[in-house]
Structure 1
Amino acid sequence: MASVKQARHPATDEITLIDVMGALNDPIRVGLIRVLADEREHGWGELRAPVAKSTLSHHLRVLRDAGVTRTRQEGTRCFVKLRSADLNARFPGLLTAILDAAHHDDVGSHVGLADDSPTA
């Protein structure tokens, strides 16, 4: 019987500022954290970005490896959630500042959820 490979998530005290900032140097990844800031866990299939599925998977892996998100596999489905509490414990106020700046500068607004309605 084959075992499911579990993704490695850095412990809170292993999350570094350089890794977090490096992971957030792409507008798609900033858009993903804007979507995930609702504090809900989302299936990968719910996420919409103007990139191929393999590229979206890469972006999600970068965020996970940096400690920005947590990924959970359930059967063949994967779920992702923003690690807000861990990031706020490690870098108080950083996540809020990033989300505020992203909203102000309209970074990542082209990323959303499958059930998002287009705005007129």
Structure 2
Amino acid sequence: MRTVTHPALGQVELPDLLHALSDPVRLNIVRCLARDGECACGSFSVSVSKSTLSHHLKVLRQAGLTQTRPDGTLRLISLRRVELDERFPELLESVLSCR
């Protein structure tokens, strides 16, 4: 399994976060993570192919919204909510409350 890198909190930029959140599929993934907590890569119910889902998860990770950790053969995804709330107070809450 390849090593997954995450941007340091100081490298996370608002335009990158907003771009990542601008896609409906990625926003749905973030909402699922906010609701359910840590999830396995394949557990998201989105209507895209596996490769497209992997791309969306990569965009979220590279923007600094999520972190990925290995657990045996699984990769578990979670929101970096506490860290993001420190750097961008109320951003995630505002985005998640919009419908």
Classify the TM-score, shorter chain: over 0.9
Alignment of 1:88 with 2:85, yes or no, is yes
Find 1:25's aligned residue among 19, 22, 28.
22
* TM-score after normalising by structure 2: 0.93
Give the root-mean-square deviation of aligned CA atoms. 1.2
Larger Rg: 1
Say if 1:39 and 1:82, in contact at 8 Å, map to a contact too: no
Q: Which amino acid aligns with 1:58?
A: H
Alignment of 1:93-104 (within 5 A): 93-101=90-98, 104=99
Q: Which amino acid aligns with 2:26?
A: R
Note the residue ranges of structure 2 that are not aligned, 5 or more in a row. Answer: none
Hey, what does 1:38 align to over in structure 2? 35
* TM-score after normalising by structure 1: 0.78
Classify the secondary structure of the residue corresponding to 2:62. helix
Structure with more relative contact order (C-alpha pairs < 8 Å, separation 6 or more): 1
Aligned partners of 1:93, 1:74: CA distance in 2, in Å? 30
Q: Percent identity?
A: 43
Aligned partners of 1:30, 1:45: CA distance in 2, in Å? 16
Note the residue ranges of structure 1 that are not aligned, 5 or more in a row. Answer: 105-120
Specify which structure has the higher proportion of helix.
2
Classify the secondary structure of the residue corresponding to 1:48. coil
Moved over 4 A (4+): none
Aligned residues: 99
Alignment of 1:11 with 2:40, yes or no, is no
